[in-house]
Amino acid sequence: MERETNYEDQRVSIGSFVLESGKVLEEVELAYERVGPKEAPVILVCHALTGNQYTVGRSEDGWWEGLIGHRKFVDTSEFQVITFNVLGGCNGSTGPLSLDPSRNRPYQADFPFVSVRDMVHSQKRALEALGIDRLHAVIGGSLGGMQVLEWGILYPDIMEHLVPLAVTPSLSAYGIAYNAISRHAITKDPEWRGGYYDHAHPPAAGLATARMIGMISYRTDEMFQKKFGRKVIGKPEDQHTEAAYDVESYLKYQGQKLVGRFDANSYLYLLKAMDHHDITRGRDGTSPIKKIKANVLAISFKGDLIYPPKDLENVFNLESMAQFYIVDTKYGHDGFLVEFEKWGPLIKERLKEPSKI
């Protein structure tokens, strides 16, 4: 008999929260999506940079609806899946858009810097508030994969499985360089105004440019050539500001699309959190990976420029409880958002292993 699938789209309060920096955020809330029967084992999904809590979605498609749902690779008739919008995000969780209770106005650039570890600690508090103290699995890619690694190190005793995708143990100089260009684009936009911009007039050009930069790094040159080639849609000799080639039009579209749904300050704060990501930071002695007790299924994607597969492989290739796979794809880093038939079965098989509780 199939269990009824429930759906929640709510916020949970975790009260005051001390950040890794020592600064304190008051009245913190995390927005979350919860799908699946509440008596079922819990799978926590961690989202990427411009993702949100809507992995499945209800009014519109979720960003991982090709992987998660009824009778899909992560089956919401067998598991309950919870995703939080990260601390510092802009989809309902406490972040730069939130009201600073001490000043009765939005934080904007007064929001303190947060780390990936802060995100994980806040989610642990939120799960406790929801009455959840055990996880069957923690899954996520990119910034979500950073959170997955930290979950396994910070709370090694509460989950059975870790599935980090499209991530590395620390962000490389190459990744930081891309983030630096994106930051430059936003902070040099005249409308940014030091982070205290009018939300009716955000630094749209800077944020759109940052997104365009990101899109180049997320895909391979082979994919760009295959999808766009040199297809002409305008007159190359006419204007500097008009798209003459199909690839230009695509990048401009992606930039404007993000402007319509994401806050520039949140984008900047999350980029900083990614730059700061290094699982060895501040940890002396034994490799932090040795602290992980969960079974690990680590998945990388061929051609990933920002998170080279070899870096994740080198971390887990000697761990007895770990399996590592490279997915053959032309999508590069974005492989964790597409072609689910190539790697979804790996996750489905891993999740069949029962909880030990």
What domain range includes position 123? 7-174+276-351
Same domain for 113 and 12: yes
pLDDT at 67 over 60: yes
- Whether residue 2 is contained in a domain is answered as no
Between the alpha carbon of residue 251 and those of residues 9, 31, 214, the distances in Å are: 31, 30, 10
Tell me the two tokens of residue 118. 């802060």
Regarding whether 96 and 13 lie in a shared domain, the answer is yes
- Using the predicted structure, report yes or no on whether residue 3 has a pLDDT greater than 70: no
- Both 19 and 107 in one domain: the answer is yes
Domain boundary among 245, 274, 303: 274
More confident residue, 281 or 235: 281
Residues 130-155: what's their mean pLDDT? Answer: 98
Residue 15 resides in a domain: yes
CA atoms within 13 A on the CB side of 228: 19
Over residues 147-155, mean pLDDT: 98
Q: What is the pLDDT of residue 206?
A: 98
Last residue of a domain, one of 274, 294, 324: 274
Q: Under DSSP, is residue 23 helix (H, G, I), strand (E, B) or coil?
A: coil
Domain boundary among 274, 309, 341: 274
Residues 115, 205, single domain; the answer is: no
Band (1; pLDDT cuts 50, 70, 90): very low
Residue 121 among the catalytic residues: no
The predicted model gives 123-144 an average pLDDT of 98
Can you give the pLDDT at residue 239?
74
333 is catalytic: yes
Q: Which residue has the tokens 């999740």?
A: 351
Shared-domain flag, residues 92 and 162: yes
Between the alpha carbon of residue 63 and those of residues 22, 132, 236, 307, the distances in Å are 33, 24, 35, 20
- 240 plus 290 within the same structural domain: no
pLDDT of 356 > 70? The answer is: no
**Mean pLDDT over the full length of the chain:** 93
Per-residue pLDDT at 277 exceeds 90: yes
Least confident of 203-207, 265-269, 286-290, 301-305: 286-290
Q: Which of 75, 189, 304, 334 is catalytic?
A: 304
Whether the predicted model's global pTM rises above the 0.85 cut? yes
Query: Residue 319: its pLDDT value, please?
Result: 66
For the chain, the 3-state helix, strand and coil shares in percent, each to the nearest 5, are: 35, 20, 45
**For the chain, what percent of residues have pLDDT higher than 70?**
96
CA distance 254 to 272: 22
- Which residue stretches of the chain are H helix? 116-129, 143-154, 173-187, 204-218, 221-227, 246-259, 264-276, 309-316, 340-351
> What is the phi/psi pair of residue 350, to 5°?
-65, -40
Task: Tell whether 91 and 156 lie within a shared domain.
Answer: yes
pLDDT (mean) for 220-240: 84
pLDDT at residue 265 is higher than 80: yes
142 catalytic residue (yes or no):
yes
Name the nearest CA neighbour of 262 among 147, 190, 182. Answer: 182
Output the pLDDT for position 26: 96
Res. 339: pLDDT tops 80: yes
Q: What is the CATH number of the domain that holds 90?
A: 3.40.50.1820
Quick one: pLDDT band at residue 348, thresholds 50, 70, 90? very high
Q: What is the pLDDT of residues 206-221, one digit of tens each?
A: 999 999 999 999 999 9
Q: What is the CATH number of the domain that holds 262?
A: 1.10.1740.110
Q: pLDDT for 27-57, tens place per residue?
A: 999 999 999 998 999 999 999 999 999 999 8
> Over the stretch 285-296, which tens digit does the pLDDT of each residue have?
778 999 999 999
Catalytic-role residue among 122, 142, 170, 300: 142
Residue 236 has pLDDT above 90, yes or no: no
Selecting among 122, 161, 333, 334, the annotated active-site residue is 333
Which amino acid type is present at position 291?
K
pLDDT value of residue 4: 44
Residue-wise pLDDT tens digits, 184-196: 999 999 999 999 9
Kindly state whether residue 209 falls inside one of the protein's structural domains: yes
pLDDT above 50 for 58: yes
Range scoring the smallest mean pLDDT among 95-104, 318-327, 340-349: 318-327
* Count of structural domains within the chain: 2
Instruction: For residues 16 and 27, state if they share a domain.
Output: yes
Tokens of 39: 């008596």
